[in-house]
Amino acid sequence: MAHIVSLSDIHFGEPYSLLWRPDLPLYAGKMIGYLAGGHIDKLILVGDVWELAAPEEPDAAFPIARAFFHALTGDRSHGTDIGELIWVPGNHDHELWTHYCQTIGKPLDALDGWSLWDSGDAADDAAQHLLANMLGPDVLERIGKVTVYNPFHVERLGKGSVVFHHGQYFDDMILGKAGLDEFKARFTSVISGAWAKPNAPMQATDAADLEARCAPFIDAVWGRTTDRQTLKTQAWEFLTRFRKWSSCNAKGSADVPQFAALGNTEQDYTLPGEADNIRWFLRSFVFKNGLAPDPVSLVYGHVHRGDMFDLDVDGRRVRCFNTGGWITSHKGTVPHTHVVLIDEDGNFDQRAIRFPDSVIDESIQHGGGVRALDVPDVTTGEEQHDNTDLF
């Protein structure tokens, strides 16, 4: 039985996802249930779970996700009980949260937690509809509570606290830190059918202000709404037809362990490129408000690297865990797909999940071969005609 199980960057619906084939979500869901021991107090999804920015398979995210969660939870006699599902939105599924907030007229930030589902009751009709799409109505019967925290969540445990954040606010482009990154942000938003850029996020006074400054850009680039769908889809379809995925078609470097030796000093290993942004984020929005008692750990995704390291933040040691990603990257390289398990005292167990080589190769071939905007539903085989009504 697991107290906390944390996943991120599954990217349900992404053409290069390891779960693109209909049987694979069933395999993965049962695998997670096995690791959890049949019960999860809190399943924390740290963003980029539902892929909204892949026009090649525009409506695949929800049916694949529903198959996964159905395999995880099973039925009342077999499957994994989930006391609470916590979702911390990432950049690729942020639009789902934006859509809900706009529907009911609430602000995007939800640091204190916003309950969408509790003991069999949805918060409102919009939440009921959203959760039925994201999880499936049968799955909700096996989940006690569904809560959203945005843009981060802090769990206080017996041994200190854990900060959960997808990691988009550790990204130079979203933060617009440099001239090149600002140019990339502007160019990317134009491709996406909107003119938006991060609004000086480094000057944000709190997490709500940070969300307000960055959410329009995040949703313009990684979201999918009717007013942007046509231009965005046309642009991405144009790029898709002529692109050559060198990163996926070339043989990658040998698969090497991504784990730094915990407890070593920073001089003993190379820190990831997002280290300074992590320091800024924790210093500005977590430590300043006293939200996380020592010792502090961080669980995040976004970069799909799947590693762990110690980081010094103004004299405080923060143990960092990256959850990796469920997307293929290079031929010959095993994707770093990880699951983080935490007990009630705050002890961590990070597991690397390995898929058969044949699945990895098929995923790369599938992603490289997808070109049509209208593809059959992965579960029913029926053609899809409305690629914008995701919610």
Q: What percent of the chain has pLDDT over 90?
A: 50
Range 246-264 average pLDDT = 44
Residue 72 pLDDT exceeds 80: yes
DSSP structure class, residue 233: H
Range 250-265 average pLDDT = 44
Domain boundaries, the chain: 2-369
What pLDDT is stored for residue 363 in this prediction? 87
Least confident of 4-8, 34-38, 281-285, 377-381: 377-381
Q: Give this prediction's pTM.
A: 0.88
Q: Which residues neighbour 56 within 8 Å (Cβ) at sequence distance 6 or greater?
A: 15, 236, 240, 367, 370, 371, 372, 373, 375
Give the residue with greater pLDDT, 127 vs 189. Answer: 127
Query: In the CATH scheme, what is the code of domain 2-369?
Result: 3.60.21.10
Give the residue with greater pLDDT, 183 vs 217. Answer: 217
Going from the C-alpha of 306 to that of each of 76, 149, 295, 321, 361, the distances in angstroms are 33, 22, 21, 7, 20
What pLDDT is stored for residue 164 in this prediction? 98
Distance in angstroms (rounded) separating the CA atoms of residues 247 and 92: 20
Q: Tell me: the pLDDT tens digits for 87-115?
A: 999 999 999 999 999 999 999 999 999 99
What pLDDT is stored for residue 167 in this prediction? 98
